[in-house]
């Protein structure tokens, strides 16, 4: 890893004690190694919990819950709530899981009911088991070396503790001219360190001091249900999740745009409108459209809406360069963070008008992302290939060696993780979006960047809910008809405004060009 940058970050948090809690914000470290939490990067600011031979370190704002039965210990790091039993307490959820035979069908039936942003760790018979939330929105990275196990939310923390060096392939990839397009996610389950891997949704990892075992426990498949049943059940799950959010937090706020996802969230908050606040922000001219639309929608419901105006000059913020460096370090230091995004995080770090942001991410899993991106394409072949995955991952206009190397990464990814349901599997590109694109990009942004400012919860982040959404016919996912029906059933007045804002970057011209690129690049044999 870049020792110069590491030293720079160390200098920042040494000279600016007020920024120490922002380094690896809301992170955690789980290990059986001897860690001196009084030294950098902890400065004795992290909570320390001893669990047999293991230690759990929690950053400020991060929570850990522990329950034990006989020789089995369950740990949940983050937050969780169950919209089926309407349980909002993590310890009660863990106790219920402990009543099941670990890793049997009943255990996973209960586990799959949970909404939240969390990492689940089990200690049993000398092994450590790691499971994530439905989309691994809390990114979780792991490694083991010389009998020592390390699990964390942040790759650079593991790199610091183990003094790791960047993988040569990742070095070359990050320097590729078009790498910054489509985010700073790495392919497959890679991190910048060869020794460290990323937890993939719907799988669990077993660490036993000798080897790493990866197993799938959930297969996204098309459920044999009608659209009416999907609308009814998704509506109920979302409504229940939003009710539970009002129990778990004192001042929850729903971030609003004029788009499909947040409008659907707002519709399902009916009956609890007084328990939430509603906000948008403007940090650039393009965001003003969404903010205006959100205000109109809220006013139509008689709800107070606040628009935060983020100052557009770095000089308006104290220590903005230091904040930028910390944010880049928290997200793996793969590429520079957009200056506008840095200002957003600095701005909202000083806002205390709400204690959790209710975000509508993960919803896109039910909205045929790749079909929309590639101009309405419905067919991507019966199975994934490394080149198709590479093509969906980045724009490669030259450097064919880098393309072939990326193909090899996705070949290993497919061989390790891509097992479809034996009956009624969803389209492979939808599974790829759920298990690769969302965690590798959204999860990285949530964990390493957005939670710098405040805690976040996502009511869509539930396996039962997402499983229902991907079960709808692809035409319904492309035209968002399920979401329209949900809003109509929960609060029809939201769509009566006629407001519908789409991503301004996703123009028809761009969709056509990307589809041409996909058709050509996915078939190039070299």
Q: How far apart are CA 76 and CA 276, in angstroms?
A: 26
Phi and psi at residue 12, to the nearest 5°: -60, -50
Q: Is a pLDDT exceeding 70 seen at residue 523?
A: yes
Q: How far apart are CA 213 and CA 207, in angstroms?
A: 7
Percent of the chain at pLDDT > 90 equals 94
> What's the average model confidence in pLDDT over 424-452?
97
The residue whose two tokens read 């996973």 is 108
- DSSP assigned state of 49: E
DSSP track, 409-454: HHHHHHHHH----SSSBPPHHHHHIIIIIIIIIIIHHHHHTGGGTS
Predicted confidence at residue 35, as pLDDT, reads: 93
Residue 294 CB partners (closer than 8 Å, separation 6+): 256, 257, 258, 262, 278, 280, 305, 307
Percent of the chain at pLDDT > 70 equals 99
From 167-181, 303-317, 489-503, the region with the lowest mean pLDDT: 489-503
Predicted confidence at residue 504, as pLDDT, reads: 55
Q: Is a pLDDT exceeding 60 seen at residue 63?
A: yes
Q: How far apart are CA 199 and CA 214, in angstroms?
A: 9
> What's the average model confidence in pLDDT over 436-453?
97
Question: pLDDT tens digits, residue range 320-345?
Answer: 999 999 999 999 999 999 999 999 99
> What's the average model confidence in pLDDT over 146-171?
96
Predicted confidence at residue 501, as pLDDT, reads: 78
Question: pLDDT tens digits, residue range 409-437?
Answer: 999 999 999 999 989 999 999 999 999 99
Q: Is a pLDDT exceeding 70 seen at residue 503?
A: no
**How far, in Å, are 142, 192, 386, 397, 407 from residue 188 at the CA level?**
15, 12, 10, 20, 10
Nearest Cα residue to 179 out of 393, 324, 353: 393
Question: pLDDT tens digits, residue range 173-193?
Answer: 999 999 999 889 999 999 999
Q: Residue 483 CB: number of other CB atoms within 10 A?
A: 23
Question: pLDDT tens digits, residue range 454-473?
Answer: 999 999 999 999 999 999 99
Predicted confidence at residue 8, as pLDDT, reads: 95
Residue count of the chain: 526
∠ CA(12), CA(34), CA(212), 5° rounding? 100
Domains of the chain: 3-216 (3.60.20.10), 227-365+439-505 (3.40.50.620)
* More confident of the two residues 508 and 24: 24
3-state helix, strand, coil in the chain (%, to 5): 45, 20, 40
Q: Is a pLDDT exceeding 90 seen at residue 152?
A: yes
Q: Is a pLDDT exceeding 80 seen at residue 506?
A: no
Q: Residue 426 CB: number of other CB atoms within 10 A?
A: 22
Q: Is a pLDDT exceeding 90 seen at residue 144?
A: yes
Predicted confidence at residue 507, as pLDDT, reads: 83
Q: What confidence category does residue 227 fall into, taking pLDDT thresholds of 50, 70 and 90?
A: very high
Predicted confidence at residue 210, as pLDDT, reads: 79
Cis preceding linkage at 165, omega within 30: no
SS3 call for 264 = helix
Predicted confidence at residue 33, as pLDDT, reads: 97
Half-sphere exposure of 249 (CA within 13 A, CB side): 25
> What's the average model confidence in pLDDT over 349-377?
96
451, 402 contact by CB (below 8 A): no
Q: How far apart are CA 335 and CA 27, in angstroms?
A: 20
Please give the structure tokens belonging to residue 37. Answer: 């939490």
Q: Is a pLDDT exceeding 80 seen at residue 92?
A: yes
Q: What confidence category does residue 2 fall into, taking pLDDT thresholds of 50, 70 and 90?
A: confident
0.85 cut: is pTM over it? Answer: yes
- Average pLDDT score over the chain: 96
Q: Residue 204 CB: number of other CB atoms within 10 A?
A: 21
Question: pLDDT tens digits, residue range 264-296?
Answer: 999 999 999 999 999 999 998 889 999 999 999
Q: Is a pLDDT exceeding 80 seen at residue 360?
A: yes
């Amino acid at each position: 890893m870049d020792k110069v940058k590491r030293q720079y970050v160390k200098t920042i948090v040494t000279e600016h004690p007020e920024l120490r809690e922002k380094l690896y914000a809301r992170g955690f470290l789980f290990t059986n190694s001897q860690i001196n939490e009084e030294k950098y990067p902890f400065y004795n600011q992290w909570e320390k919990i001893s669990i047999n031979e293991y230690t759990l370190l929690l950053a400020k704002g991060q929570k850990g819950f522990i329950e034990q039965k006989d020789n089995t210990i369950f740990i949940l790091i983050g937050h969780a709530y169950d919209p089926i039993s309407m349980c909002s307490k993590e310890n009660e959820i863990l106790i219920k899981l402990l009543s099941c035979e670990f890793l049997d069908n009943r255990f996973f039936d209960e586990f799959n009911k949970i909404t939240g942003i969390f990492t689940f760790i089990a200690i049993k018979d000398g092994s450590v088991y790691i499971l994530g939330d439905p989309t691994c929105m809390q990114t979780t990275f792991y490694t083991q070396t010389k009998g020592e196990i390390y699990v964390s939310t942040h790759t650079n923390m593991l790199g610091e503790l183990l003094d790791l060096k960047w993988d040569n392939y990742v070095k070359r990839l990050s320097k590729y001219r078009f790498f910054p397009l489509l985010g700073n996610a790495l392919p497959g389950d890679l991190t910048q360190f060869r020794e460290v891997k990323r937890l993939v949704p719907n799988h669990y990892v077993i660490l036993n001091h000798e080897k790493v075992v990866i197993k799938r426990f959930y297969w996204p498949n098309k459920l044999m249900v009608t659209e009416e049943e999907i609308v009814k059940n998704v509506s109920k799950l979302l409504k229940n999740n939003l009710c539970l959010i009002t129990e778990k937090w004192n001042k929850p706020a729903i971030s609003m745009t004029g788009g499909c996802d947040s409008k659907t969230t707002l519709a399902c908050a009916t009956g609890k409108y007084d328990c939430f606040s509603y906000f948008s922000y403007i940090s650039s001219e393009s965001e003003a459209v969404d903010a205006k639309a959100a205000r109109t929608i809220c006013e139509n419901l008689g709800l107070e809406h606040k628009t935060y105006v983020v100052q557009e000059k770095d000089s308006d913020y104290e220590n903005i360069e230091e904040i930028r460096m910390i944010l880049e370090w928290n997200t793996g230091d793969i590429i520079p963070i957009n200056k506008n995004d840095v200002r957003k995080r600095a701005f909202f770090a000083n806002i205390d008008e709400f204690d959790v942001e209710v975000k509508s991410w993960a919803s896109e899993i039910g909205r045929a992302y790749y079909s929309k991106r590639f101009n309405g394409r419905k067919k991507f072949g019966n199975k994934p290939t490394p080149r198709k995955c590479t093509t969906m991952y980045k724009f490669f206009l030259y450097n064919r060696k880098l393309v072939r190397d990326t193909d090899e990464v996705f070949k290993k990814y497919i061989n390790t993780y891509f097992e479809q349901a034996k009956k009624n599997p969803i389209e492979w590109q939808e599974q790829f979006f759920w298990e690769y694109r969302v965690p590798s990009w959204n999860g990285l942004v949530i964990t390493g960047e957005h939670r710098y400012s405040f805690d976040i919860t996502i009511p869509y982040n539930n396996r039962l809910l997402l499983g229902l959404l991907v079960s709808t016919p692809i035409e319904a996912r492309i035209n968002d008809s399920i979401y329209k029906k949900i809003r109509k059933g929960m609060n029809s007045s939201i769509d009566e405004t006629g407001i519908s804002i789409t991503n301004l970057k996703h123009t028809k011209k761009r969709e056509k060009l990307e589809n041409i690129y996909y058709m050509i690049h996915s078939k190039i044999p070299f």
